Structure 1
Amino acid sequence: MLSSPKGGVGKSSLSRNILVLAARAGHTTAGVDFDQQGTLATWSERRERVRASIPALASIPVQKARLEDWRAVMASTKKSTADFVVIDTPPSIELNLNAIVSLAAEADLILVPCQQTQDDIDSVIPWMRHLNSASQRAAFVLNRSNRRAKSFEMIRSKLLVAGDFCPVEIPQLEEIPLASGKGLGVMDLTRPSSGETFEALWSYVSRRVQQ
């Protein structure tokens, strides 16, 4: 599950790339898009159109759903053939707190994306504290990072103090939105420059899910 109170931190971007990584690892995958914008669901539809000319591309269905229907949606996913499900949630957690907290309790792992700004820190740290107090398995993911910026170590340190931290930072790279625009994940591209980064991310995610 991808969850953050802050909009625009890359929940949908990470969701689709994790789905592609899981499919490449041999899982039967599915996504659930609870965000009204439907970014993940739109990407899945685009991918299906691409598969018409590239049938070897793994099918990754994404169900668009309303957050208030989460119980029925989760029951449906448990009955499906998918063995790896990624859930993309809307921002503004405070407006949907009860539903998102209940949904989080069903997740094997909650990733909390965060960008390299103080505004992001102010938003995500209270949410991580809430997840920790509920004994949820959760971790920050620093997205669109820039190690050369002075803010990098400060932001990273604050996240490490506040909760578990994914050791793989996702840099700002042009190929990430480029792949998305084609209904792909980065690892669907030929010789992606960030291939090692996303392989490392999958190693982390798959290991945490299995713990």
Structure 2
Amino acid sequence: MYTIVLATQKGGSGKSTLAMGLAVAAQEAGHNVRVIETDRQGTLSKWQARRHQAEPIVEAVYDAKMIEQRLEALARGGVTVCIIDTASGINAATTAAIRHCDLCLIPTRPSVADIEATAPTLSVVRAWRKAFAFVLNQTPIRGGHRVSDATTALDNDAPRDIAEVLAQPFIMMRNDHQDALAAGLGVNEFAPEGKCAQEIRSLWRWTLGKVAGDQVVQEANELMEVQFPILLRPTVEEHEATAARAYPTWADSNITWDTGL
């Protein structure tokens, strides 16, 4: 089972709408999909209520200790893709979700301030040595300079090709996303032939490529040297060393006990 987490420090980045769209796109592609919601705001639970319990099923799991158990149970039950939508900020549930994921997608609007606000999320991703990618979301259709500024902000802090950690395509700001949410639909269901649906399907294919065949990681000590690290494909020796290494401690992650729990 592939576990994909959407997480970021800043609110309003569009995590929930992306989670809905990706879940429906994965189901459309033939996967058995389950969505876990750790955000008590309940956006996804309310969305499913408007769907009259149509799949994919949304589970609310607020207890961080239950996340690993639920993921194991879902995998045993035949679920092939689990998407976890998290609350803004860093809390125990978000930390647990990232710890047990295969890929952390970090949605951000195309502004330098929003990108800088992803730093706390990246600190948790680094602590657990997880693969990640930024998703430029709510991108203005006629905002080319904003996208350029955003990618430059990422690129300036990345020691290698930014394409490795910048998901494709960028998701444009269009009304279909909000209209689909209000109707209890995924954007792929709301306007199957629309541009939004095409973008979400492409984003799902890109994401699947990362977790299924192009997932790469980087040693923790290298990750701590840059604010926006990118992923490296490990050698066999590095993979074996990482597998044998114990999970990082709170001290390793630079997260206080109160913040992490």
TM range (shorter): 0.7 to 0.9
Partner SS, residue 113 of structure 1: strand
Q: After superposition, where does 1:48-59 map in structure 2 within 5 Å?
A: 48=52, 59=55
Instruction: Check if 1:2 corresponds to 2:6.
Output: yes
Q: After superposition, where does 1:1-211 map in structure 2 within 5 Å?
A: 1-48=5-52, 59-68=55-64, 69-93=66-90, 96=91, 98-132=92-126, 134-146=128-140, 148-149=142-143, 150-160=145-155, 161-162=157-158, 164-188=165-189, 189-211=191-213
Between 1:112-121 and 1:29-38, the stretch displaced more is: 112-121
CA gap 1:135/1:190 in 2 versus in 1, 3 angstroms? closer
1:81-103: CA deviations, max 9, x gaps? 3211100011121xx1x543332
1:49-106: CA deviations, max 9, x gaps? 6x5xxxxxxx21000111433233333323333211100011121xx1x543332121
Structure 2 spans left out of the alignment, 5+ residues? 214-261
For 2:62 and 2:192, locate their aligned partners in 1 and report how far apart those are by CA, in whole Å: 36
Partner SS, residue 116 of structure 2: helix
Q: Deviation above 4 Å: which 4+ runs of structure 1?
A: none
1:3-38: CA deviations, max 9, x gaps? 111111011000000000001000111100000001
Displacement, 1:108?
A: 1.2
Displacement, 1:116?
A: 1.9
For 1:172 and 1:127, locate their aligned partners in 2 and report how far apart those are by CA, in whole Å: 23
TM-score by length of 1: 0.85
Between 1:73-82 and 1:179-188, the stretch displaced more is: 73-82
Higher RCO (CA < 8 A, seq sep 6+): 1
Aligned length: 200
Identity of aligned residues (%): 26
For 2:62 and 2:127, locate their aligned partners in 1 and report how far apart those are by CA, in whole Å: 26
Over the residues paired in the alignment, what is the CA RMSD in angstroms? Answer: 2.0
CA gap 1:155/1:92 in 2 versus in 1, 3 angstroms? same
TM-score by length of 2: 0.70
Larger radius of gyration: 2
Partner SS, residue 120 of structure 1: helix
For 2:63 and 2:133, locate their aligned partners in 1 and report how far apart those are by CA, in whole Å: 22
For 2:192 and 2:205, locate their aligned partners in 1 and report how far apart those are by CA, in whole Å: 20
Decide whether the 8 Å contact of 1:125 with 1:159 is kept in 2. Answer: no
Structure 1 spans left out of the alignment, 5+ residues? 52-58
Structure 1: which amino acid aligns with 2:87?
Answer: P
Structure 2: which amino acid aligns with 1:183?
Answer: G
For 2:94 and 2:175, locate their aligned partners in 1 and report how far apart those are by CA, in whole Å: 31
Displacement, 1:204?
A: 0.2
